[in-house]
Structure 1
Amino acid sequence: MDHTKRQPGKPGWRFVFLALALAVLVSGLVRSLWLDVYFIPSASMEPLFNTGDRILVSRTDFQSAPIRRGDVVVFDGRGSFAPLHSGAGPLAEALSSAGHWLGVMGSDTTYVKRVIGLPGDSIVCCDAQQRLTVNGQPIVEPYVHAGDAPSDQEFSVSVPAGRLWLLGDHRSVSADSRSLLGAPGGGMVRMDKVIGRPVQIIWPLDRFASVARPPQVATTTTKDGQ
């Protein structure tokens, strides 16, 4: 009698297991093709993103509209911002990957920055008014963290074909393309390494908000053309 009573429970557990497996499979498919979740581990993109924010990233936005100056992008930094191998053990890498996938910790190889230079652009810091210039024209940067200079580091770079020049909005604390000027590749990121565009802050709930795509970074000129 006891054995007979336990029989109906087995199909139920089997159904739960299959449902969970299907949910993980569908979630993985969605996150690899359309939308993914990323954890913001630092203050480098303040005030847009705070440390601890979870953001929803669209993998398809740039398929219909090309990347432009001023866009915020999430990208794979391996080969540019990050080393090809972290040097961590297999277990540590597995735990890190799981935490990254669950959106509870950052990744050592995934970054979020703002596009300042497109292929063919020349970017210089800084002009007499301490502004960045792109192709000889000063640019307007309303997104830069209050109190920060456009850059405390002088540079003059030309962006090659298929690459991007990227900076954080919180310039005084951001490790970005400027930090790699002397490294192979000079801090340039391949365009095919871009994962997508942040479209929504989903956590914490008091910061739940959409992330609008900004207009292309504008240039400004004075009356005498300087």
Structure 2
Amino acid sequence: MTVVEHDLTLPLSEEAVRSLNAGDFVYLTGEIFATAGLPTHDRLLGCLDGVEPLPFDMQGGALFQLGSLNEEAEDGSLSIVYMNPTTSTRFNAHMPRLIPGLGLRATGGKGGLNAECAQAMAKCGCVYLSFLGGGAQIITAGIRKVTGIGWPEMISHYRIVRIEVERLGPLTVGIDANGSSIYDQTAASAQEKRSAILDEMRAARDAAGS
């Protein structure tokens, strides 16, 4: 199987996103948005409901579920010591509204998102990018600087951090804008193998008992 790699610059166009297929590798250059907070995602939904303004315009952007260890200077500036993905399924209830509401072209973390989220991505032209779990060193190597902090009154890993990155990756297209999911494919493959193994075990048992 040939691995297809894409070097993409943010913000992303719908055309660029729809050219990606599940299983492709992606490198990102530009500015991303990152947070690991459930309360932050709740607050973003509130912004869509008019409770308060959004801290950033994310149209065409990428919002990733990434946790980080930060160092804050006396002037309030932030530097990232390391960054690692958190489990995206925690945000299944949020993303079907946030994807169209924020105009996202990419989201991601680890573990994938559910079918309702995949439907929203297919409708809007958005992909889920999978980060290597435990790959903090690889992820952090792509970070150049923090360019903005949204909601600084929140604890550090709940803030939305805008980060300039250069060739961040490789990231795997886990769910593409056509709704194809490597997570669904893996589950189906595992189920097929499980059925085959059980059939072999039954045949062996029956042979032993005859």
TM-score range, shorter chain: under 0.3
Tell me the TM-score normalised to structure 1 length: 0.26
Which one has the largest radius of gyration? Answer: 1
Which structure: greater strand fraction? 2
Task: Looking at secondary structure, tell me which structure has more helix per residue.
Answer: 2
